[in-house]
Amino acid sequence: MGSIIYDLYIEYFGTKNIIWFFYIVNLIFSIIAFKLGFARQLPLLKSIIVYILLAIGVVIITIFSLVNFPITETLLIVSIVLGIYRFRLHTERKNRQ
């Protein structure tokens, strides 16, 4: 089974700028997953280093997306699950007080 987002992008936009599209989408979902999944607040310099390394690492993820693996969909699902988890955690903490 191929990537749904890849197939939709090819159908509507062709192959023009597909690399940049997947890079930006994967980077956005990776940042969201990092922010929702990492419990601690990092100092500014460490956060900058993490985001730079994340931007470099997303290049590999983008290559997998272009090979038609469902990486972008997986990042989307991870972001949604972590968002639901954080929301439920927030409401439980709010109800305790």
Give the tokens for residue 69.
């693996």
pLDDT tens string 31-40: 999 999 987 8
pLDDT tens string 33-80: 999 998 788 899 999 999 999 999 999 999 998 888 889 999 999 999
What range defines the domain where residue 75 resides?
A: 4-96
Q: Which residues contact 27 (CB under 8 A, 6 or more apart)?
A: 54, 55, 58
Task: Provide the 10 A C-beta neighbour count for residue 23.
Answer: 19
Q: Which residues contact 19 (CB under 8 A, 6 or more apart)?
A: 62, 66
- Name the amino acid, one letter, at 41: Q
pTM of the model: 0.84
Quick one: DSSP state of residue 69?
Answer: -
Please state the domain count of the chain.
Answer: 1
